């Protein structure tokens, strides 16, 4: 019964999400849109780190490349907006493919360290290329279609795209491909022994995760009408990783919960204190000590039958 009704919960959640802009003030609608796109970003990271077992420590670079790809198409070319919103994610997927080809031969921590290094290199290029990316000033005043230029329009566009992408990732992890990458995560040696091409599946997972991370970056352009290099810095990658850990890295909807908590804390805690990094570090410490499986991970374990829990 629980398994048959669980897929209906996200649909029930859509009802209040659709009503939010009608009852909330403008700033809170903006915050809700940021929560949605950050939840999409965290879910895309979890596809690589939680379901495939890859130490993807530089995921924010795909978020930034997706945002910059869309922003540059809108500001420097005459291409229609739908094309611009597709170019950003495709650029992020292409970068993920290139970085994956370089890093895939390394394992675990070394994979993550090299990813951070390559991501920092991309950040440095964006940060210093004033004539093309705007350098440390970023790109501001990005023109958007009238339908999504208003706070309500950008929110509903973000909600629609996020819902479609989250559903697509849900179908991916429930597909045979999703089962294979979970098997690779649990035991890559045994997966290779039964004929699975481990690196090919890991590369596919990286590209998919990079693509959806780029979609989140394109949505950031819609909500903020600007981009800046710090959104692809490695410290933000760590923050997104904490979202996955907080919600539950081995659950699908855990990163959505973690992203919602972290974003709301960051927005409203910054009103009262400037020591957000201290709060974030405290959250990480408490999660590691008391909730190693994350919030949803704890609930999922308690809802399992006792014999499954023991196994």
Tokens coding 59: 């995921």
Please indicate, yes or no, if residue 237 is contained in any of the structural domains. Answer: no
pLDDT in tens, 35-50: 999 999 999 999 999 9
Q: Do residues 230 and 67 make contact, with C-beta atoms less than 8 angstroms apart? A: no
Phi, then psi, of 227 in degrees rounded to 5: -140, 155
Q: What 3-state class would DSSP assign to 175?
A: coil
Q: Is residue 31 part of a domain?
A: yes
Give me the phi and psi of 226, to 5 degrees please: -160, 160
Q: What is the pLDDT of residue 307?
A: 44
pLDDT of residue 289: 82
28 within some domain = yes
CA torsion sign, 89 to 40 to 136 to 236?
A: negative
Mean pLDDT across 62-74: 95
Helical axes 108-128 vs 234-247, angle rounded to 10°: 130
Name the residue range of residue 175's domain: 10-231
pLDDT at 255: 92
170 pLDDT more than 90: yes
pLDDT for the residue numbered 9: 65
Using alpha carbons only, give the angle 259, 245, 122 rounded to the nearest 5 degrees.
Answer: 70
- pLDDT tens figures, 87-139: 999 999 999 999 999 998 887 788 999 999 999 999 999 999 999 999 999 99
**pLDDT given for residue 302 in this prediction:** 65
Q: Are strands 226-227 and 139-140 parallel, antiparallel or unpaired?
A: antiparallel
DSSP 137: G
Report the percentage of the chain scoring pLDDT > 70.
92
| Cα dihedral value 105, 109, 114, 117, nearest 10 | 170
- pTM listed for this prediction: 0.91
In a domain, 203, yes or no: yes
Q: What is the pLDDT of residue 5?
A: 53
Domain annotation covers residue 221: yes
Task: Specify if 64 maps to a domain.
Answer: yes
The pLDDT of residue 311 is above 50:
no
Domain count, the chain: 1
Q: Is residue 303 part of a domain?
A: no
Mean pLDDT, range 251-266, rounded to an integer: 90
Query: Please, where are the H alpha helices in the chain?
Result: 2-5, 8-23, 26-49, 60-76, 81-103, 108-128, 130-133, 151-174, 176-186, 188-193, 198-224, 234-247, 254-269, 276-290, 295-303, 306-310
pLDDT confidence of residue 117: 92
């Amino acid at each position: 019964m629980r398994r048959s009704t669980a897929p209906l919960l996200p649909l029930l959640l859509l009802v209040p999400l659709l009503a939010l802009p009608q009852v909330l003030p403008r700033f809170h609608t903006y915050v809700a849109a940021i929560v949605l796109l950050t939840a999409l970003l965290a879910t895309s990271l979890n596809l690589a780190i939680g379901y495939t077992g890859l130490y993807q420590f530089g995921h924010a670079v795909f978020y930034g490349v997706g945002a910059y790809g869309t922003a540059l198409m809108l500001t420097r070319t005459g291409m229609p907006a739908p094309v611009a919103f597709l170019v950003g994610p495709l650029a992020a997927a292409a970068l993920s493919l290139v970085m994956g080809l370089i890093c895939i031969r390394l394992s675990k921590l070394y994979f993550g360290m090299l990813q951070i290094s390559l991501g920092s290199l991309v950040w440095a290029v964006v940060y210093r290329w004033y004539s093309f990316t705007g350098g440390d000033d970023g790109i501001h005043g990005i023109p958007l279609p009238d339908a999504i230029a208003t706070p309500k329009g950008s929110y509903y566009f973000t909600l629609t795209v996020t819902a479609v992408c989250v559903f697509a990732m849900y179908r991916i992890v429930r597909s045979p491909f999703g089962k294979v990458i979970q098997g690779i995560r649990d035991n890559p040696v045994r997966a290779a022994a039964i004929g699975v091409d481990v690196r090919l599946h890991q590369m596919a997972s990286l590209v998919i995760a990079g693509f959806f991370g780029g979609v989140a970056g394109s949505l950031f352009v819609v909500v903020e009408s600007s981009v800046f290099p710090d959104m692809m810095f490695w410290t933000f990658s760590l923050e997104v990783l904490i979202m996955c850990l907080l919600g539950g890295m081995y659950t699908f909807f855990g990163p959505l919960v973690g992203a919602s908590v972290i974003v709301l804390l960051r927005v409203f805690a910054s009103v009262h204190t400037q020591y957000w990094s201290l709060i974030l570090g405290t959250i990480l410490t408490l999660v590691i000590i008391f909730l190693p499986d994350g919030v949803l991970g704890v609930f999922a374990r308690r809802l399992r039958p006792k014999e499954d829990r023991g196994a």
